[in-house]
Amino acid sequence: MATHIAPLRKLWALHVLDGNDIHLSLKELYEKLSNGKSGCYWELFEVYKHLRSLGYVVGRHGIPWSVKGQHIKSGTCSLEGSQESNEMLEMEPKDENSVIELFNNMQITDVSPAFNVYLPNSKFRKSSPGDPSFVLYISRCSPPSRVEIEALERKHGAIPFKFCHVENGRVSFFSFAKTELPVLP
Amino acid sequence: MMPRWKGKGLQAKANADPMSKIVSQLQSSLIQFETRGLLSSCSVLVEVDAELADLLNRSCFGRPRITAQEDKQWFQLDMEEAFYLCFSLKCLKVIGEDGSIKSNEELWDYFKSKKLVFPVSYKVYSHLRHKNWVVRSGLQYGVDFVAYRHHPALVHSEYAVLALSEGDNDLNGRLRVWSDVHCTVRLCGSVAKTLLTVIVNSNNQVANSPSCLEHYTVEERTITRWNPERSREDQTGPKNGTKKV
């Protein structure tokens, strides 16, 4: 699944190729996003695009980054034509412009995280990405309950996680952090 | 979010005059004067002299009512405030319209009849008060309470508090949909407060009497909005995952 997308601000251009290395038009991409198995590719794409355009490094949770020298596996994305946001990324000089199967089979559920996100200037290296700055869940229907949040805290341990809500073209991020107000004198 | 003191030297003033001590003095004085409150709809009215009025003001219980009386003052206490003084601090007795003193169980039933979520909101109120936070109504901000580190004259409140309960019998009904999360977080932000949810688990206790409260457990959580445009700089280096985002 691939297309050339030039977003409004023209900060970055994303080349996407399908399995046969054939460029698809924007219309075809949008159609694919709408027809995803769980019908949720559109929200995933909005979130992905939003964070990428701000310079964050976003990978699909559970999918390894490619290792230097190997063919690019799914879950990676490279930028073209954008100086500001990919300077810190270690890139192969001629990376294939592909988001091959990035969203393939991806489902938004409230229990499986969508993305691992790294801060933009975090000297991210695909060969050793390290822990993400946070794990991102995309929320479908309702805000998470306390029970759900606790389960996620057990699952992710020290790595923070956030919930993302997409509606009406707006992408919003929320943190639900345990706290304890101090006992005052 | 750091506490915002309202002026220079006020933090020192607060430190020199701990809230726990003020509340303790209030408690002693109320007991000494055998103060009685009058049950009136959703409030309890107390008549006090100047010394007690001063303590009520400094500890932030109740609101003074304007009257023509000179030697005495009347204060109006919210349900949670009144029950805290009666049940937790044991320094106030409340008289019903028949002139008899209400037991804690009777007060509990009465307040529950006026406010279905009273057990949960009281648990949250007393939980924060026990930690010596000043807790006031948060109605004007669309939340249950606001919590201050000390007297509101000295410091702005840091937290807008929602008292929530777990499970199917959550009568509060807040933050069940994303639009409410957006709305509440935005409102809190616009008044420089952090949204604090205090979640009460009744542990299957039926709220028949105030003794159920000791079996309730409480968990505090903040809900904050993360703005990706503002958090791009990683100041702690790639491996250190402790930067707060």
Residue-wise pLDDT for A127-178, tens only, equals: 787 888 999 998 878 898 888 899 889 988 899 999 999 888 889 999 999 9
Give chain A positions within 8 Å (CB) of B128: 181
Give pLDDT, residue B232. Answer: 67
Asked if pLDDT for residue A42 goes beyond 90, the answer is no
The first and second tokens of residue B93, run together, are 């007795």
For A154, the enclosing helix (H) or strand (E) is: helix A146-156
The first and second tokens of residue B49, run together, are 């002299």
Asked if pLDDT for residue B217 goes beyond 80, the answer is yes
Q: Find the residue in A nearest to B200 (Cα).
A: A146
The first and second tokens of residue A152, run together, are 């996620």
Overall average pLDDT of the B110-132 stretch: 96
B151 tagged catalytic = no
B110 tagged catalytic = no
More confident residue, B44 or A29: B44
Please tell me the distance in Å from B135's CA to the nearest CA on chain A.
Answer: 13
The catalytic residue among B13, B112, B115, B156 is: B156
Overall average pLDDT of the B202-228 stretch: 93
Give chain B positions within 8 Å (CB) of A179: 196, 220-222
Percent of chain A, pLDDT > 70? 51
Contact call for residues A154 and A99 (beta carbons, < 8 A): no
Overall average pLDDT of the B57-73 stretch: 90
Task: Round to whole Å and give the CA distance between B29 and B91.
Answer: 8
The pair phi, psi for residue B191, each rounded to 5°, is -110, 20
Overall average pLDDT of the B146-163 stretch: 95
CB contact under 8 A, A184 and B234: no
Asked if pLDDT for residue A81 goes beyond 90, the answer is no
Q: How many CB atoms are closer than 10 A to CB A108?
A: 20
Please tell me the distance in Å from A127's CA to the nearest CA on chain B.
Answer: 13
Give chain A positions within 8 Å (CB) of B222: 175-177, 179
- Within chain A, what is the greatest distance between any pair of CA atoms? 68
Question: CB distance from A98 to chain B under 8 Å?
Answer: no
Contact call for residues A117 and A130 (beta carbons, < 8 A): no
Task: Round to whole Å and give the CA distance between B49 and A54.
Answer: 62
**List of E strands, A14-153:** 14-15, 57-60, 115-118, 134-139
Overall average pLDDT of the A77-99 stretch: 32
Average pLDDT, chain B: 90
Q: Find the residue in B nearest to A184 (Cα).
A: B132
Q: In CATH, which of 3.40.50.720, 3.40.50.1100, 3.40.50.150, 3.40.1170.20 is domain B15-114?
A: 3.40.1170.20
B84 tagged catalytic = no
Overall average pLDDT of the B31-50 stretch: 94
Q: Which of A174, A178, A180 to mutate to test the interface with B (most CBs of B within 10 A)?
A: A174
- Give the ipTM of the model, two decimals please: 0.87
Alpha carbon of A100 to those of A21, A115, A125, A129: distances in Å?
A: 9, 16, 20, 20
Q: Find the residue in B nearest to A159 (Cα).
A: B241
Contact call for residues B100 and B39 (beta carbons, < 8 A): no
Instruction: Find the range with the poorest average confidence among A6-15, A49-58, B201-210.
Output: A6-15
Contact call for residues B33 and B52 (beta carbons, < 8 A): yes
Question: CB distance from A121 to chain B under 8 Å?
Answer: yes
Looking at the structure, give the CATH architecture of the domain made up of residues A41-63+110-184: 3-Layer(aba) Sandwich (3.40)
Domain borders along chain B are: 15-114, 116-225
Alpha carbon of B52 to those of A84, B25, B62, B89, B222: distances in Å?
A: 65, 9, 12, 15, 36
Q: How confident is the model at residue A109 (pLDDT cuts 50, 70, 90)?
A: low
Task: Round to whole Å and give the CA distance between B149 and B19.
Answer: 9
Instruction: Find the range with the poorest average confidence among A96-110, B57-71, B83-97, B104-118.
Output: A96-110
Average pLDDT, chain A: 67
Overall average pLDDT of the A21-39 stretch: 59
Contact call for residues B150 and B59 (beta carbons, < 8 A): no
CB contact under 8 A, B199 and A146: yes
Give pLDDT, residue B205. Answer: 86
Task: Round to whole Å and give the CA distance between A76 and A64.
Answer: 8
Q: How confident is the model at residue B190 (pLDDT cuts 50, 70, 90)?
A: very high
Name which CATH class applies to B116-225: alpha beta
The pair phi, psi for residue A13, each rounded to 5°, is -125, 135
Asked if pLDDT for residue B11 goes beyond 80, the answer is yes
